[in-house]
Amino acid sequence: MIVSKEYMESIIDQNKRIDGRKFDEYRKIEVEYGISPKSAEGSARVKIGDTEVLAGIKMELGTPFSDKPDEGSIMVNVELIPMASSLFESGPPSINAIELARVTDRGIRESKALDFKKLCVREGEKVWLVFIDIYPINADGNLFDACYMAALAAIKDANFPVLEGDKINYKEKGKEKLPLTKMPISCTVWMIGEKFLVDPTQEEELASDARLSIVILENGKICAMQKGGSMALRAEEIFKMIDIAEEKTKEIRRYFK
């Protein structure tokens, strides 16, 4: 269903949403771990309403960056495959896919949730590279939060591969968990006209003017943000959005206990 922006704004102006939810209400969230246990080091499925995202972790050995010889790293990739929506096309990653991947990457990297030092095998020579591949398979809005949650759940599910010398032994499954030391949670707050809302459906997203993704740690500190959409925001609006995200991330956090 595609709803015109004018119609969507008129509904929102009456303090209503087309599916009857409150402005700060998420759809049903489901997190399932280990959806690809044979092949992936860690994997998860996250559903938010009809939006469904799969994420999986593969790990490879690589050489560290010269300025961080004792740290491994992560690589986040989002594929907006045409299976998920008639709005997506085959081909190289679109700018939307790249933004989703980079915002997810920053939330995990900048919060230092994953201890990169513990991904070091031999300083200056060998470190673990953690590939986080994210596939929305049904897109119905709010991919920012869904992709982020799927990535976090896949990391939570992941074990180190088994090493034999400097080679990975893929025949065995490791038992040691990845060093996930903190739980940064993401919430994206959207603006349609003058109103703030969370977890938009696809048609709400198409009618929106601005969004702000905010990643918040358990101690209340903010560790990543990204503003999207072409409408300018006033500072007090941004702080209002942060207040909403603070409340919502508390709720979302319980899915990652």
Partner 1 sequence: MKYAKRNDGRKFNETRPITAEVGVIKNAVGSAKFQIGKTIAIAAVYGPNNVFPKFLQKPDRAILRCNYNMMAFSGSGDRVRPGTNRRGKEIGMVIEKAFENILDLSEFPKAAIDVFIELPQTDAGTRCAGICAASLALADAGFEMKDLVCAISCGLVGDQVVADLDYSEEAFEGGSVDIPIAMTPRNGEITLLQLDGEISKEDLKKAVEFGKEACLKIYEIQKQVLKAKYEETKQ
With CB under 8 A as the contact rule, which of the stretches 17-25, 112-120, 129-137, 189-197 interacts with partner 1? 129-137
Tell which positions 189-218 bind partner 1, by CB under 8 A. Answer: none
Question: Which has the closest alpha carbon to 56: 45, 72, 68, 71?
Answer: 45
d(CA 136, CA 147): 7
Q: Applying CB under 8 A, which part among 64-72, 75-83, 179-187, 204-212 lies near partner 1?
A: 75-83
Q: Which of 193, 189, 206, 178 lies closest to 242, judged by CA?
A: 189
- Which secondary-structure segment (H or E) carries 47? strand 42-48
Other Cβ atoms less than 10 A from the Cβ of 11: the count is 16
Q: Please identify, among the stretches 48-56, 181-189, 219-227, 236-244, the one whose residues bind partner 1 according to the rule CB under 8 A.
A: 48-56
Judged by CB under 8 A, the residue of 36, 174, 193, 228 near partner 1 is 36
Among 38, 234, 254, 257, binds partner 1 (CB under 8 A): 38
The residue range among 3-11, 74-82, 179-187, 203-211 that interacts with partner 1, by the rule CB under 8 A, is: 74-82
Helix axes 95-110, 143-157, angle to 10 degrees: 50
User: At 126, phi and psi to the nearest 5?
Assistant: -135, 130
Minimum CB distance to partner 1 smaller for 164 or for 247:
164
Helix (H, G, I), strand (E, B) or coil at 104: helix
Give the pair of three-digit tokens for residue 163. 């090493």
Among 48, 56, 119, 224, which residue sits at the site for partner 1 (rule: CB under 8 A)? Answer: 56
Q: Count residues near partner 1 (CB under 8 A).
A: 33
Binding footprint of partner 1 on the chain (CB under 8 A): 35-41, 43, 50, 52, 54, 56-58, 60, 77, 79, 81-86, 90, 92, 131, 133, 135, 137-140, 170
